[in-house]
Amino acid sequence: MPVNRQICLVMSDRRENIVNIETKEDRRIRKTKRALRDGLAELLTEKSIQKISVKELTDKVDIHRSTFYANYTDIYDLYTQVEDSVIQEISDIFLENHTVDSKEFFQILFNYISKNRQVCRMFLGKNVSSTLYNRLTALLKDTYIGCLRNDYGFKGTDEDLEYYMHFYISGSLAVIGKWADGNFDYSTEKIMMMFTDINNNLDIYFP
């Protein structure tokens, strides 16, 4: 075999080994962050963030404190990063699925909530985060305001629209919060259909 061919094969093998190592490391990091995220979510259903220590969290999820500090500066940094990721994930759901019909969209949204129950309870339950609530409200407002004008033919004033949007968004988040507080025992299918029916008939309430 030519020398350059051998060198290429060796370099290829080394690159593959590096990729495999990085993939394993990435998986470990994701697994660690997921454990910390879920552990914090569970603790926050029991107490306020001010009463949660790094030691309590790392003991709960069986992760060394040095591993925690390799990824976060403190509990509040973890909380902020989790909040940012939730906002980004929900934003992506809206951006990637804005053309599908209501039923399919709410299936996707509520499947996300079901798969992230602990975190959604942390942010949307009785101890709802005011910052996340405000960010979600802003996100939903930006998403729906054009939709109501263009797709539902809303003819009212901008001030009228603000009130309708506030009613719709606050009500939606309150229902999801109640679902979270009930430990998501209420049927996902029923709540999904509830949202679909309301969304499909919004125009009957508009001026």
Question: Cβ distance 144 to 168 under 8 Å?
Answer: yes
Cα gap 83→37, rounded to integer Å:
10
In the predicted model, is pLDDT for residue 131 greater than 70?
Answer: yes
My answer on whether 201 and 117 are in the same domain is yes
Q: Is the pLDDT of residue 18 over 60?
A: no
Confidence at 145, pLDDT banded by 50, 70, 90: confident
Mean pLDDT lowest among 22-26, 144-148, 156-160: 22-26
| Average pLDDT of the chain to the nearest whole number | 80
pLDDT confidence of residue 15: 44
Mean pLDDT along residues 193-204? 80
| Domain enclosing residue 9, as ranges | 1-72
Q: Give percent above pLDDT 70 in the chain.
A: 81
- Looking at the fold, whether 195 and 107 belong to one and the same domain comes out as yes
Question: What pLDDT was estimated at residue 23?
Answer: 55
The arithmetic mean of pLDDT across residues 116-128, rounded, is 76
Q: Are 155 and 206 in contact (CB under 8 A)?
A: yes
> What pLDDT does 14 receive?
43
- Shared-domain flag, residues 167 and 118: yes
Q: What is the pLDDT at residue 127?
A: 60
d(CA 37, CA 82): 7
Q: What is the DSSP letter of 152?
A: S
The per-residue pLDDT for 20 is 46
- Cα–Cα separations (whole angstroms), residue 58 to 36, 55, 180: 7, 5, 25
Are 123 and 104 contained in the same domain?
A: yes
Tokens of 42: 């569970």
What does the pLDDT read at residue 205?
A: 62
Domains identified in the chain, total number: 2
Average pLDDT over every residue of 47-71: 93
Residues 54 and 134 grouped into a single domain: no
Asked which of 63-67, 92-96, 152-156 is least confident by mean pLDDT, the reply is: 152-156
Q: Of 72, 99, 133, at which residue does a domain stop?
A: 72
Q: Which two tokens stand for residue 34?
A: 């997921």
Q: Is the pLDDT of residue 64 over 90?
A: yes
Are 26 and 106 found together in one domain?
Answer: no
Indicate the pTM of the whole model: 0.73
Query: Which of 63-77, 86-100, 114-128, 163-177 has the lowest average pLDDT?
Result: 114-128
Q: How confident is the model at residue 206 (pLDDT cuts 50, 70, 90)?
A: low
